[in-house]
Amino acid sequence: GENVEQHPSTLSVQEGDSAVIKCTYSDSASNYFPWYKQELGKRPQLIIDIRSNVGEKKDQRIAVTLNKTAKHFSLHITETQPEDSAVYFCAASSSGGYQKVTFGTGTKLQVIP
């Protein structure tokens, strides 16, 4: 089955700096890679996703890159703000009827004002 590893487990940055979270996956059949943000005690919310036919995707301060050859994908947050503080999960999935998603172990991001 799929195995998703995520690093770092915790990340502290000063407000305004950039934050980068990296993930690797094992199943070459995976072709959909969402990122979720979970604030304390709340449900995970999809913040950005990328498919394997795209190498990079950007949405305002958030960008995701994908290296399918190396089975790496990363989340980049620029100009971080205190409200970006949360736990971020990467995930990997293959298309098809089953649609099972495997989550990474999470990164707790703290943005220091």
Least Cβ distance, residue 60 to another protein (angstroms): 17
Least Cβ distance, residue 56 to another protein (angstroms): 18
* Residue nearer to another protein on the CB measure, 37 or 84: 37
Please return the burial class of 38, using the count of CB atoms within 10 Å of its CB with bins 0-12, 13-18 and 19+. middle
Residue type, 109: L
34 touches another protein (CB under 8 A)? yes
List the one residue from 39, 67, 105, 112 that touches another protein (CB under 8 A). Answer: 105
52 touches another protein (CB under 8 A)? no
Number of H helices, E strands in the chain: 0, 11
Q: How far is CA 10 from CA 7, 37, 59, 85, 106, in A?
A: 8, 14, 23, 11, 8
The token pair at 15 is 């407000």
Least Cβ distance, residue 24 to another protein (angstroms): 15
The count of chain residues that interact with another protein, using the rule CB under 8 A, is 22
Q: How far apart are CA 49 and CA 72, in angstroms?
A: 14
For another protein, the binding residues (CB under 8 A) are 32, 34, 36, 42-46, 49, 89, 93, 95, 98-106, 108
